[in-house]
Amino acid sequence: MIDSQKVQYTLLVCIYMGAFLLTGSESLECHSCTKSDCSDQTVVECAKPMNICTEIIVLLRTGNQSLPVRHKGCASGLSSIISYHVTFDGLTIRHFEFGCDTSLCNAGNTPFSTLPTEPPVVDPPENATECHTCVDTDESRCLGENAQKIICPAGQDRCYRGNGSLLIGNVLQPIFIQKCSSPGCPSFNYHASKWYNLSLSGSCCSGDYCNKILAPVVTLPTNDVGSKFTTKNGATPSATSISLLVIIFAVFAIGKF
Ligand SMILES: *[C@@H]1O[C@H](CO)[C@@H](O)[C@H](O)[C@H]1NC(C)=O
Ligand SMILES: *[C@@H]1O[C@H](CO)[C@@H](O)[C@H](O)[C@H]1NC(C)=O
Ligand SMILES: *[C@@H]1O[C@H](CO)[C@@H](O)[C@H](O)[C@H]1NC(C)=O
Ligand SMILES: *[C@@H]1O[C@H](CO)[C@@H](O)[C@H](O)[C@H]1NC(C)=O
């Protein structure tokens, strides 16, 4: 026990001394995160030849639904700021990225309002198809009312449901999507840059809301229904909670006499 503690202590001292020596040298440190909202931000030391810290924001939007993804890390390249938007068949990608070359220079969270504005939405035709729309990293968040209904724009008379991934920096985010589509039902393989790539594939259907996801079916056991005592949220109280109730009631009753 003591020996292993000593070893751990020595190791810690070495790590601290190492870090101390390294800060003296010119190694770059950057903020880094892997979650789509960057809530897991940490500081990392960049391995050579990476020479810049980056922040990349990609915002996917279809109908009124949008999915912002933020990434920070080390990269190699030049200090720069780039922003643009592109539209593919009912899906808009708004992108902002920057690279800077001093330690921890990617500390701030660039507000989404910095992203370029999208082209205005044009009024849909009279007899337009209506579809569910959703874009999320988790399909379960597109169930039921979360998949908003929209009236499709001209030229998009099919409903689409698909999935794929957004590779941003070195992190792969799963993407699930429902949207309107043109009759060709195109897939996307958008090799955007060395910063991110988007690929999606799916299928189309005809008819209003035909791209709805059905909630997983819960099958109930056929025996022993009816006499079960269920609580408000549908859980069956355990034997211990029932006996606890009996004891509380007994104590209460005894106290009355
Ligand atoms: C909508 O109406 C236009 C003109 O009446 C017609 O050409 C078109 O095929 C219709 N589209 C659908 C999806 O019904
Ligand atoms: C988007 O949301 C706004 C506000 O909630 C609503 O007024 C608008 O009709 C929605 N647009 C679509 C296409 O659903
Ligand atoms: C994506 O869609 C395909 C085809 O519908 C399906 O087989 C696959 O499991 C889906 N993948 C994910 C991660 O949802
Ligand atoms: C995206 O794809 C292009 C072309 O295949 C590739 O050069 C680039 O490195 C990719 N970006 C990422 C972040 O992997």
Highest mean pLDDT of the ranges 6-15, 101-110, 230-239: 101-110
Omega of the bond leading into 49 within 30 degrees of 0 (cis)? yes
Looking at residue 234, its pLDDT comes to 39
Going by CA atoms, what residue is nearest to atom 2 of ligand 1?
127
Output the CA torsion 134→136→141→146 (10° steps). -20
163 ligand 3 Cβ < 6 A: yes
Going by CA atoms, what residue is nearest to atom 14 of ligand 2?
150
157 ligand 1 Cβ < 6 A: yes
Residue 143: pLDDT band by 50, 70, 90 thresholds?
Answer: confident
Going by CA atoms, what residue is nearest to atom 14 of ligand 3?
163
Name the residue with higher pLDDT: 46 or 143. 46
Going by CA atoms, what residue is nearest to atom 8 of ligand 3?
163
Residue 100 to residue 31: CA distance in whole angstroms: 12
Looking at residue 220, its pLDDT comes to 59
Please name the CATH architecture into which domain 27-105+126-205 falls: Ribbon (2.10)
CA 226: distance to chain centroid?
41
Residue 77: pLDDT band by 50, 70, 90 thresholds?
Answer: very high
Ligand 4 atom at minimum distance from 167 CA: 13
Ligand 3 atom at minimum distance from 164 CA: 1
167 ligand 4 Cβ < 6 A: yes
pLDDT over 90 for what percent of the chain? 59
Looking at residue 40, its pLDDT comes to 96
Q: Is 186:158 a contact under the CB 8 Å cutoff?
A: no
Kindly tell me if the per-residue pLDDT of 97 is higher than 80: yes
150 ligand 2 Cβ < 6 A: yes
Looking at residue 4, its pLDDT comes to 56
Ligand 4 atom at minimum distance from 196 CA: 13
Q: Is 214:204 a contact under the CB 8 Å cutoff?
A: no
Q: Is 158:68 a contact under the CB 8 Å cutoff?
A: no
Count the neighbouring beta carbons within 10 Å of the beta carbon of residue 50: 18
Name the residue with higher pLDDT: 10 or 34. 34
Any idea where the domains of the chain sit in the sequence? 27-105+126-205
191-231 confidence digits (pLDDT tens)? 988 889 999 999 999 999 999 987 665 555 555 444 333 33
Looking at residue 246, its pLDDT comes to 45
3-state secondary structure of 250: helix
